[in-house]
């Protein structure tokens, strides 16, 4: 009996040691990915922005890490979301790197990878889009199976009737026992249209608005920004409800919560432009079980890094890892998140890339394909626009849609890097023939060059 007890004790001790060794990965985390539509940094109250209250985002920031230099994949919806879903830069995913195009399913998406790894997956609201994913071989939205049947009226013109939080509840109710989940909570807000005057109607004050320097500081612009704030708050209210639900069912501790936006605010010189307000987005990440909270990071991070983070947290290896043609581009943020540190945490993160192929609303006004890429250099946070690569002349343009243009002769040119303040939106689209260029290095210019080689479309 004594011998049995000793053996039992030894067995229990061995099991305890084993459990302590595997504990970090013993249970796959849930993943709640909340993404608004067209929200610029720093428009959340956690950033000290006046005139807006975002308790949902602020909670994630407080219980996790608040990022100050998160750069979206692109300043437009579909390319940015496709970059995120594939973990590849938008210029590496063909059609999906353009706005309102198609999405080829040869590029693996992280929701599909999670599903194959045993996750219960779904999305609500806006997933990947706008665009046609069926022509690329997808049978469903690349963000996952849709859960959007629950509706709720906001009473605000321009705000979606999809009750994102209620759909999250429905998704959880249908989850098979024991499965970890991934859910994409995709708000349609604060995408325009805004209800004009709703900000003032809700009691907000024009005097609370910090008007970006590139916009006229007038009462009308201030009012427009307040209306935009109201839509951000609507999205945030769903995030707060989703968090409360997770807490109530005891799942919050082991859930990786990521909150961001696909691109910047829908204002001139912001959304659809490779300037700061087009690609600099809010980001907060929490995972109570693994990540120490009350921290801030100024490290530059990009959407492709978020994909890598999700996969590492879930213990999923990208199927194309190590295969140059389809491999993911990002670097996981897990070491940064697990470090417990604040400020500049990973000094090797010195810059990030973003860029734009075309955006639908700009097609009629440009003379040829345009490209740009952005680099963020931290410490002094300068934001530089590179690239400015464009066709010297479009030989034949049968419509305003680039995919319908005839093959064009593209002269690869690149500008001297310059501060954004030296460019207006229009001049940024004009080729600057400062020097010709060859693709030999791995610098941002080379990346731009490789994009431009792909520009001519039949």
Q: Which is nearer to Ca ion, 123 or 181 (CB)?
A: 123
Q: Which is nearer to Ca ion, 360 or 415 (CB)?
A: 360
Give yes or no for a contact between 27 and 19, defined as CB atoms under 8 angstroms apart: no
User: In angstroms, what is the minimal distance from the CB of 278 to Ca ion?
Assistant: 10
User: In angstroms, what is the minimal distance from the CB of 79 to Ca ion?
Assistant: 10
In whole angstroms, how far apart are CA 362 and each of 76, 189, 281, 405, 429? 11, 21, 21, 15, 10
CA distance 274 to 372: 7
User: In angstroms, what is the minimal distance from the CB of 356 to Ca ion?
Assistant: 12
Q: Which is nearer to Ca ion, 163 or 262 (CB)?
A: 262
User: In angstroms, what is the minimal distance from the CB of 99 to Ca ion?
Assistant: 10
Listed residue (69, 113, 457) closest to 297, CA to CA: 69
Q: Which is nearer to Ca ion, 29 or 75 (CB)?
A: 75
User: In angstroms, what is the minimal distance from the CB of 228 to Ca ion?
Assistant: 13
Q: Which is nearer to Ca ion, 77 or 388 (CB)?
A: 77
**Residues with Cβ within 8 Å of residue 425, at least 6 apart in sequence:** 268, 269, 273, 275
Q: Which is nearer to Ca ion, 77 or 291 (CB)?
A: 77
Q: Which is nearer to Ca ion, 262 or 299 (CB)?
A: 262
Give yes or no for a contact between 333 and 285, defined as CB atoms under 8 angstroms apart: yes
Give yes or no for a contact between 22 and 15, defined as CB atoms under 8 angstroms apart: no
Task: Convert 111-120 to b/e letters by CB count within 10 Å (16 or more is b).
Answer: bbbbbebebb
- What pairing do the DSSP bridges indicate for beta strands 30-36 and 418-419? unpaired
CA distance 289 to 87: 25
**Residues with Cβ within 8 Å of residue 133, at least 6 apart in sequence:** 102, 103, 105, 140, 141, 142
In whole angstroms, how far apart are CA 220 and each of 176, 197, 209, 215, 216? 51, 9, 11, 11, 9
Q: Which is nearer to Ca ion, 65 or 77 (CB)?
A: 77
* 193-195-212 Cα angle (round to 5): 75
Q: What is the DSSP string of 248-267?
A: HTT-STTEEEEEEESS--SS
- Closest residue to Ca ion using C-beta atoms: 77
In whole angstroms, how far apart are CA 140 and each of 145, 148, 171, 198, 319? 6, 14, 16, 35, 20
User: In angstroms, what is the minimal distance from the CB of 188 to Ca ion?
Assistant: 9
Q: Which is nearer to Ca ion, 57 or 119 (CB)?
A: 57
CA distance 370 to 137: 27
Give yes or no for a contact between 371 and 354, defined as CB atoms under 8 angstroms apart: no
User: In angstroms, what is the minimal distance from the CB of 177 to Ca ion?
Assistant: 36
Helix or strand or coil: residue 133? coil
Q: Which is nearer to Ca ion, 349 or 359 (CB)?
A: 359
Binding site for Ca ion (CB under 5 A): 37-38, 77, 262-263
User: In angstroms, what is the minimal distance from the CB of 355 to Ca ion?
Assistant: 15
**Residues with Cβ within 8 Å of residue 15, at least 6 apart in sequence:** none
User: In angstroms, what is the minimal distance from the CB of 262 to Ca ion?
Assistant: 4
Q: Which is nearer to Ca ion, 263 or 273 (CB)?
A: 263
User: In angstroms, what is the minimal distance from the CB of 225 to Ca ion?
Assistant: 17
- Counting runs of H as helices and runs of E as strands, what totals does the chain give? 12, 12
User: In angstroms, what is the minimal distance from the CB of 37 to Ca ion?
Assistant: 4
Structure tokens at 287: 């995972």
């Amino acid at each position: 009996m004594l011998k049995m007890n000793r053996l039992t004790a030894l067995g229990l001790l061995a099991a305890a040691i084993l459990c302590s060794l595997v504990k970090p990965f013993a249970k796959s985390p849930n993943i709640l990915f909340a993404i608004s539509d067209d929200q610029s940094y720093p428009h959340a109250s956690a950033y000290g922005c006046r005139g807006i209250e975002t308790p949902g985002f602020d909670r994630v920031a407080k219980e996790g890490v608040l990022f100050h230099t998160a750069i979206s994949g692109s300043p437009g919806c579909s390319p940015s979301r496709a970059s995120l879903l594939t973990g590849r830069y938008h210029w590496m995913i063909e059609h999906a790197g353009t706005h309102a195009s198609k999405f080829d399913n040869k590029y693996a998406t992280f929701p599909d990878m999670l599903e194959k790894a045993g996750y219960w997956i779904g999305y609500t609201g806006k997933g990947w889009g706008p665009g046609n994913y069926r022509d690329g071989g997808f049978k469903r939205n690349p963000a996952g199976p849709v859960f959007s049947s629950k509706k709720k009226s906001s009473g605000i013109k321009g705000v979606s009737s999809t009750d994102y939080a209620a759909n999250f509840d429905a998704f959880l109710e249908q989850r098979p026992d024991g499965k970890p989940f991934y859910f994409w909570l995709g708000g349609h807000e604060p995408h325009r249209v805004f209800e004009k005057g709703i900000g003032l109607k809700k009691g907000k004050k024009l005097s609370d608005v910090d008007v970006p320097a590139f916009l006229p500081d007038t009462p009308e612009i201030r009012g427009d920004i307040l209306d935009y704030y109201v839509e951000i708050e609507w999205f945030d209210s769903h995030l707060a409800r989703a968090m409360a639900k997770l807490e109530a069912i005891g799942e919050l501790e082991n859930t990786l919560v990521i909150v961001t936006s696909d691109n910047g605010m829908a204002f001139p010189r912001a959304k659809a432009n490779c300037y700061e307000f087009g690609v600099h987005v809010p980001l907060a990440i929490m995972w109570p079980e693994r990540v120490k909270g009350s921290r801030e990071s100024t490290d530059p991070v990009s959407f492709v890094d978020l994909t890598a983070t999700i996969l590492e947290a879930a213990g999923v290896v990208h199927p194309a890892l190590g295969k140059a043609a389809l491999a993911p581009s990002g670097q996981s943020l897990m070491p940064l998140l697990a470090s417990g540190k604040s400020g500049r945490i990973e000094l090797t993160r010195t810059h990030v890339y973003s860029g734009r192929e075309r955006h639908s609303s700009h097609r009629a006004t440009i003379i040829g394909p345009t490209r740009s890429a952005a680099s963020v250099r931290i410490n002094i946070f300068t934001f530089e626009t590179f690239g400015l690569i464009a066709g010297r002349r479009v030989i034949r343009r049968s419509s305003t849609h680039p995919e319908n243009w005839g093959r064009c002769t593209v002269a690869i040119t690149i500008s001297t890097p310059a501060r954004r303040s030296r460019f207006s939106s229009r001049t940024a689209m004009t080729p600057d023939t400062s020097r010709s260029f060859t693709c030999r290095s791995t610098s941002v210019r080379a990346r731009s060059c490789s994009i431009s080689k792909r520009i001519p479309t039949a």
